Amino acid sequence: MSVKILALGFGLVILFSVLELIRKEKLTFKYALGWLVIGIVAIFSSIFETVIFKTASFLGFKLPSNFIFFSLLSVFILFSLLLTVFLCQQNNRNDLMAQKIGILELEIEKLKRKINKE
Amino acid sequence: MAQKILIIVPAYNEESNIGKTIDDIMASGQTATILVVNDCSKDQTAQKVLEKSVMLISLPYNLGIGGAVQTGFRYADDNHYDVAVQIDGDYQHDAAYLKDLLRPLCDDKVDMTIGSRFLPPFSSYQSSFLRRFGITFFARLISFLIKEHITDPTSGYRAFNKKLIKIFAKYYPHDFPEPEAILIAKRYKARIKEIPVQMRERLGGQSSIRYLKTFYYMVKVTLAIVLDKLKERKEL
């Protein structure tokens, strides 16, 4: 029983942390969505643990805990792959911005020189 | 019609070489605009460039040689240049060969020329065993993949026409870009020609490829080259 309370508590902590972060505008909805789903799934499965047991035995896991570990790992691996994609996107945008800033500075310098000549 | 030529000189911590490089290009008598891209050097590179009457772009932070060269491509594309040449800021590339590099491009015989150290009459380039091994390895791998003979895939002494400027302005690999760029150009069915050149030994400064980095360089470039084959082929 205490495990159930622990799991439920953890799920609630995740859900409320995410909600609080959205409220304070530290998380945008695009990135918060995955975490909201994780929080809700955690709460749902701590209340209805029989769903986990049934799914685990249906999929052929000998122990429900193996099923839980497997699901968690899969979700986090996918999550980190997604995060890497976002990171690369940000990196490309940063580099583009650096290049544009460099080019713009040169253009400003050229204009300044032109004005000084006139 | 006269072609608008931009010479892109990427430079990172090259205070002792950049001045000579610029003088060398100017002395070659080639009419072209010179653009130095200072990749956020920590030394006096920018000040040395400002003493000369050439254009200078200073990047706000270090992007790596590919990012610096790509800045040049973007500038060339924005300002409608017909040809872009890359000459590294370390005084290794001899501007005397600029005309040889540019001629096939200006005659529209090819889309890209590469200055090669390993073509007759000059094939006596001296270098460390490890570097020679790396160059030969990539030369064989790339020649095999593009079914064309390439002798000096790591040479940064190159010239590109308008079509390739447009392509590389959009996408250019950021670290160790030279071998991969050949594959990208080929993917767009570019015509590539190698031109025999001689290069000088490095004097001051540091090569961007040092011993500790060599292994990473080999793995990264090999993977990048092979993975490039998976990308979609396009028309120029």
CA distance A61 to A96: 48
Element (H, E) at B112: strand B112-116
Q: What is the mean pLDDT of residues B153-168?
A: 95
The third-level CATH classification (topology) of the domain covering B5-228 is Spore Coat Polysaccharide Biosynthesis Protein SpsA; Chain A (3.90.550)
pLDDT at B50 over 90: yes
Q: Which of residues 66-125 of B touch A (CB under 8 A)?
A: 67, 70-71, 74-75, 78
The Cα of A102 is separated from the nearest Cα of chain B by a number of Å equal to 5
Q: Please give the biggest Cα pair distance in chain A.
A: 84
Output the pLDDT for position B203. 61
Residue B185 is encoded by which pair of tokens?
């150009």
Choose the mutation target among A97, A101, A103, A117 for the interface with B, i.e. most B CBs under 10 Å.
A103
- With beta carbons under 8 A apart, name residues in chain B contacting A101: 59-60
pLDDT at B233 over 90: no
Per residue in A6-25, pLDDT tens?
888 988 998 999 999 988 88
Query: CB of B176 within 8 A of CB of B220?
Result: yes
Mean pLDDT (chain B) is: 89
Euclidean distance between CA atoms B193 and B205, whole angstroms = 30
Q: For B60-80, what is each residue's pLDDT tens digit? A: 999 999 999 999 999 999 999
Q: How close does chain A come to B86, measured CA to CA in Å?
A: 17
Q: What is the pLDDT of residue B122?
A: 78
Mean pLDDT in residue range B83-94: 94
Q: Do B60 and A106 touch (CB under 8 A)?
A: no
The whole-model pTM stands at 0.84
Question: Could you read off the pLDDT of B115-141 as tens digits, one per residue?
Answer: 999 888 877 767 777 778 888 899 999
Question: CB distance B57–A95 less than 8 Å?
Answer: no
- pLDDT value, residue B207: 61
**Is the complex ipTM more than 0.90?**
no
Euclidean distance between CA atoms B162 and B140, whole angstroms: 28
Residue B120 is encoded by which pair of tokens? 């007759």
Q: Which residues contact B138 (CB under 8 A, 6 or more apart)?
A: B153, B154, B179, B221, B222, B225
The string of pLDDT tens digits covering residues A66-83 is 998 999 899 889 989 999
